[in-house]
Amino acid sequence: VSEAVVEALAQWPERGVPERPGAWLFTTARNKGLDRLRRERTYRRKLELLARIPESPAREPDDRLRLIFTCCHPALGGDAQVALTLRAVVGLTSAEIARAFLIPEATLVKRITRAKRKIVVAGVPYREPEPEDLPERLTQVLRVIYLVFNEGYFTTSGPQGLRRELADDSEWLASQLVAWLPGEPEPLGLLALIRLHLARWKARSGPGGLVLLPDQDRTLWDRERIAGATRILERAASLGRLGPYQIEAAIVAVHCEAPAWENTDWPQLLELYSLLEYFDSSPVVTLNRAVVVAQVRGPRAALELVDGLRPALERYHLFHAVRASLLRRLGSQSEAAEEDAAALRLTSNPAERAILAERLEFAQTHESST
């Protein structure tokens, strides 16, 4: 990310809309015309599956917007929101969704049926939320899209092709949301975040399985996609309303712009993590920030921060892994070994360990640099 973007994000500017709003959508839209057509068709077909959908052909984009807000209504559980959205908006079959989430198809069908029944019986409306409800409702929609992305991107189980499709579906959903709500910065932030992650897809797997960020071959990264995603993020920032997805995207962008792990712009990351903490004060975000603190201010400052997280993260293996690496850098070898053992005790599955490690990408810093 250029300095300008971080500045824009941090200062909540009033620069206004870029000169050619909409043009970026075409330049950065993914080159999957056929795929899109397929979705358009299944979308129309699946539309009929959801209860209370008007008979008339879907007028875009209003009908789709109504559809996704209905699927992600807070009266429905998180799992049901995800299933309904994939079924009705993306147009996946129940079998496809069940396979992607590794659950029996019957379970998935039951989940969707129950959700549809609740929509009818409880009177969930088929319409966009009122403007005053939009921030809260949009958060739910973004969460569902991000969950779909996470399932595709961070899960090791299931066939890789299927997971990639799920990740692509989330990208498609995010790009639709952006087109429907062009004045909202957080959908742009989420789209940028997803595209920045996907631009690194090829570099993430090697012969030994998952390759973590510090060890990735950066020549495999899709520079064009990264540039496109960064432009989307710039557009989000220009709207002048900061949010967690924009910040997360900026964090990934900082990594994408570093020529090598060692050249990462740590001070800029630290600033972004502090901003993220403002929106999402979860201990895991603080643990991430602590790892960046270690890079900027040294391991002792980081350890102090991490120790404060013990009550919340004692059962989280990466808490111990981060402590271990910090202690090692401070020369406390035996304490570090104890923490390593604690981390191992808390995770049995090596694949899961690797995946969680990537979710906390920076937590691996020390292990790879020492």
Residues in the site for other proteins, rule: CB under 8 A? 73-75, 121-125, 129-130, 133
Quote the strand ranges of 13-154, DSSP E. Answer: none
Q: Could you tell me which residues come within 8 angstroms of residue 51 by beta carbon, excluding any fewer than 6 positions away?
A: 116, 117, 119, 120
Q: How far is the CB of 54 from other proteins (least distance, A)?
A: 15
The pair phi, psi for residue 22, each rounded to 5°, is: 100, -35
Closest approach of other proteins to the CB of residue 124, in Å = 5
Of 19 and 132, nearer to other proteins (C-beta) is 132
Cα(336)–Cα(365) distance, rounded to whole angstroms?
15
CB of 126 to other proteins, least distance (A): 9
Contact between 288 and 36 under an 8 Å Cβ cutoff? The reply is: no
Report, in Å, the least distance between residue 128 CB and other proteins: 11
Rounded Cα distance between 57 and 123, Å, is 22
Question: Which residue is listed with tokens 């557009």?
Answer: 235
Whichever of 73 and 87 has its CB closer to other proteins, that residue is: 73
Query: Is the dihedral angle over the CA atoms 83, 48, 163, 177 positive or is it negative?
Result: negative
Q: Residue 205 belongs to what H/E stretch?
A: strand 205-206
CB 255 → other proteins: shortest distance, Å? Answer: 41
The CA distances from residue 107 to 80, 86, 147, 295, in Å, are 11, 15, 19, 46
Cβ 178 to other proteins shortest distance, Å: 24
Q: Please identify, using beta-carbon distances, which residue of 124 and 213 lies nearer to other proteins.
A: 124
Q: 128: which 2 tokens?
A: 């966009």
- The residues with which 210 forms a beta bridge, in sequence order, are 205
Question: Which residue's CB is nearer to other proteins, number 48 or number 136?
Answer: 136
As measured in angstroms, the least distance from the Cβ of 122 to other proteins is 5
Q: Which is nearer to other proteins, 69 or 245 (CB)?
A: 69
Of 78 and 159, the one with the shorter C-beta distance to other proteins is 78
CA-to-CA distance for 268 and 253, rounded, in angstroms? Answer: 11
Strand, coil or helix: what is 31?
coil
Q: How far is the CB of 241 from other proteins (least distance, A)?
A: 24
Which two structure tokens, joined as six digits, stand for 238? 């220009």
| Closer residue to other proteins, CB minimum distance, 48 or 133 | 133
Q: Specify whether the CB–CB gap between 154 and 197 falls below 8 A.
A: no
124 or 302: CB nearest other proteins: 124
Helix (H, G, I), strand (E, B), or coil: what is residue 45? helix
